[in-house]
Structure 1
Amino acid sequence: MGLTSRSLLYAMIAVAVVCVGLTLWLWPRFAGRGPRALLGRLGSIFATQLAIVAALGLVVNANFQFYGSWHELLGLYDDAPAAVGKWGDQGTAGPVGDPSKGLVQPSGPEGLDKVHGLPKGAPEQAGKVETVRIVGKRTRAVNPAYVYLPPQYFQHGYDRQRFPVVVALSGYPGGIFLLGQHLRLPQTAGRLIRAGKMQPTVIVMLRPTIAPPRDTQCVDVPGGPQAETFFARDVPDALRSHYRVGHDPGAWGLLGYSSGGSCALQLAMRHDRTYTAAAALSPDYKVSNDPTTGNLFGEGRDRVRRRQEYDLMWRLRHLPAPRVSVLVGTSRTGEKNYPAARAFLDAVKPPMRAESVVLNHGSHNFATWRRELPAALEWMGRSLSFPDDVVGNS
């Protein structure tokens, strides 16, 4: 049974119930003081607790999709080692794909069948969400994706039209399921497009790590995963090869929450010739090593410089401002990053532009980010240019 299958979930819940029942039934038999009675009590407690924790873990994973398979849970990946610090050929880690078979490849459901409220009906009327695997031409990294295609993408009047595109990144350790089910990104975008509050836009939903379970923070790790190259170069090349999306950077934006928001800011400010807009909900403003990331900056003389260049406040003070527009979402109370958000916004200087969505109160959770999302998407619609070129033009 698959890790996310309902059969496994229900079976584990049944096992937990049976263990509780057996413990209650057998407990009087373990009332003595001998070794057998003591071992019986310990064994029943251990078995019951293990069954309950396993059932709760499956419930949480089914709801949040932290791990999509047994291989992912155990850190086992084809053609690549799983542990931090053990890397595959040419600095790659995590799943490895074959770009010769296409940069955008068909995928299984990836949890999409469990997302509520997705478009229903004919694509030309409701739009469509599909699942694919994006394969890096340079990195050979593989990342599952949901792709929202607006109704206009399928309408006759737009059959040669290219569309603006938003690359949306989840937080860590969550995945694309959270963007669909809990952030409700495709549902919200569809509603805004139908209401005329957002221009028709292709939205590509990705997780920010390319080497799970390691948190790669959208960084090209020396001797490790090349996450920045994947998101800054491989993803745009892959999407342009498969979908009718704009070629000009003015049609490209990033959106993310938590660590995905941090990635959105980093990628836009470091690659303003690829992305010209970024909306970041509850982001951090610098990249730091922690137990989930391992050593992101390598060793040697370049280590300090690399760490500085991933500190956005340092970049604003010491480097020319990029020609990008950014939106930061934060809350005055309930989130720890409000002072950092204010400092970042105050440090922005032309030609970079910055705006904000500031709630009076909001915690670091989906309830807060769902409140901020409509404003962020409407802002993104105003910030991205609708492509003038059509299919057949370079």
Structure 2
Amino acid sequence: MELTSTAFLVTLIAGTALVMLAALVLWNRIPGPGWVRWPARVLMIALCQLTAVAVIATWINGSYGLYSSWDDLLGTEDVQNSSAMTGPPPGRARFTLGADGTRSTYFRGPHSKLAGQVLVWTPPAYGAPGAGRTRFPVVMLLHGYPGSPRTWIDTGNMPDSLEQLVQLGAARPFILVIPEIYPGGVNTDCSNTPKRKVASWLAQDVPELVAKNFRTLREPKGWGLMGVSTGGFCATKLPLQYPKVFRAGAALDPDPLVGDPEVLSDPALRERNSPLWLVRHTKGGDVGLFLATSAQDKESPPQQLEAFGRAAAGSGVRVKTLVRPAGGHNFQTWAGMYPDALGWLSTQLPPPGDGR
């Protein structure tokens, strides 16, 4: 049972109710002398508290997306990934269809030499009669830290949120691509470092794999990104670094746009991978960026969006910002930004077509 699944939360709630009911029924029915009855009652109280705390912790985790899986919670995911840096090359990667409609694969990128998971979801129009030659725009979803591709499915309500917007005519029917943003378990803010080329993984390996296996529009015209938190930082910087791959990026509550010293300790490397530095040194290019946050988010303050907008002046980069009056650094807030972000991406990327 998945850590973030509704079934697990419901099971915990039911278990808590049963433990409390058992304590009420058995409180005065425990046989034996007092030295036996009182420890048993203390144990029942402890069990009630433990199950209640588990329910609250699971609800908070689901709301904030702190841990996306049991491996993530127990700290075993990074170990597995770091020891499994080998995987099939793109030509031998196989996508497996899941019950939720996503296709999943694990492969080794030829450019980065990194291996990781990639989820792909195609809209209903992709498989509609007569659409066999139609190519579709792509939005790559970038999760936060900690997190995994499944975070978007289990906590971020994707692709359901996109489907609802498409039905309302508020967004295009995108192909969604959800890769790991720190394959091997090391966060580099989606940057190439001497030991780990995560930018190459996201901007070369993953697009090449997806374009080979799905009917996607050509890069960069038909490719965009949307990210949250650390993924929002990446969705801001990657179009600036790879304008020949991504035409647009939407960042929801992005991490500090100057970079994080705890992630990249080398000041020069950190600066040259920061969106603020990149946009100041970008001249021309057909790139659009959407940045959103809330006035209450201390991790992604509105002031940094204002500073980024000033830095982008004269760069030729199209910048749109959104500051919501309230909301925390969590998927509940980010889901409220989906209509604006996906609607904006729909103005930047073309509709499905023949790809010419």
Tell me the TM-score normalized by structure 1. Answer: 0.72
Per-residue deviation, 1:389: 5.0
- SS state at 1:81 partner: helix
Per-residue deviation, 1:343: 0.8
Q: CA RMSD in A?
A: 3.9
1:197–1:297 distance in 2 versus 1, CA, 3 Å: closer
- SS state at 1:167 partner: strand
Per-residue deviation, 1:220: 3.1
1:22–1:216 distance in 2 versus 1, CA, 3 Å: farther
Is this contact kept in 2: 1:222–1:297, CA < 8 A? no
After TM superposition, the structure 1 = structure 2 runs for residues 353-372 of structure 1, keeping only pairs within 5 Å, are: 353-372=318-337
Aligned residue for 2:296?
334
Give the Cα separation in 2 of the matches to 1:10 and 1:388.
44
Is this contact kept in 1: 2:219–2:246, CA < 8 A? no
Give the Cα separation in 2 of the matches to 1:69 and 1:184.
16
Question: Is 2:217 the counterpart of 1:246?
Answer: yes
- SS state at 2:259 partner: coil
Give the Cα separation in 1 of the matches to 2:16 and 2:343.
47
Return 5+ residue gaps in structure 2 as ranges.
Answer: none
After TM superposition, the structure 1 = structure 2 runs for residues 29-44 of structure 1, keeping only pairs within 5 Å, are: none
Per-residue deviation, 1:364: 2.9
Give the Cα separation in 1 of the matches to 2:3 and 2:245.
37
Question: Is 2:173 the counterpart of 1:200?
Answer: yes
1:210–1:10 distance in 2 versus 1, CA, 3 Å: same
How many residue pairs align between the two structures? 348
- SS state at 2:319 partner: strand
Per-residue deviation, 1:136: 3.6
1:81 to 76, 79, 82: 79
Aligned residue for 2:88?
98
Per-residue deviation, 1:179: 3.0
Give the Cα separation in 2 of the matches to 1:103 and 1:146.
13
Is this contact kept in 2: 1:12–1:54, CA < 8 A? yes
* Cα displacement string for residues 237-261 of structure 1 (whole angstroms, at most 9, x for unaligned residues): 1110110002231111001222221
Per-residue deviation, 1:65: 6.9
Per-residue deviation, 1:386: 4.4
> Which amino acid letter does the alignment assign opposite residue 202 of structure 1?
I
Once the two structures are overlaid, the 10-residue window that deviates more, 166-175 or 1-10, is 1-10
Per-residue deviation, 1:233: 1.1
> Which amino acid letter does the alignment assign opposite residue 318 of structure 2?
R
Give the Cα separation in 2 of the matches to 1:375 and 1:177.
23
Aligned residue for 1:297?
264
Aligned residue for 1:161?
134
Question: Is 2:160 the counterpart of 1:187?
Answer: yes
Aligned residue for 2:144?
171
Is this contact kept in 2: 1:252–1:274, CA < 8 A? yes
Identity, % of aligned positions:
28
* Cα displacement string for residues 101-146 of structure 1 (whole angstroms, at most 9, x for unaligned residues): 633521544xx4xxxxxxxxxxxxxxxx423125242234222425
Once the two structures are overlaid, the 10-residue window that deviates more, 160-169 or 237-246, is 160-169
Give the Cα separation in 2 of the matches to 1:76 and 1:221.
24
Aligned residue for 1:143?
117
Per-residue deviation, 1:388: 6.4
1:19–1:161 distance in 2 versus 1, CA, 3 Å: closer
Give the Cα separation in 2 of the matches to 1:66 and 1:344.
27
Give the Cα separation in 2 of the matches to 1:358 and 1:2.
34
1:276–1:297 distance in 2 versus 1, CA, 3 Å: same
1:263 to 220, 223, 234: 234
Question: Is 2:245 the counterpart of 1:280?
Answer: no
- SS state at 1:250 partner: coil
Aligned residue for 1:227?
198
* Cα displacement string for residues 285-325 of structure 1 (whole angstroms, at most 9, x for unaligned residues): 133144xxxxx436xxxx22101112222233355465411
Return 5+ residue gaps in structure 1 as ranges.
Answer: 113-128, 291-295
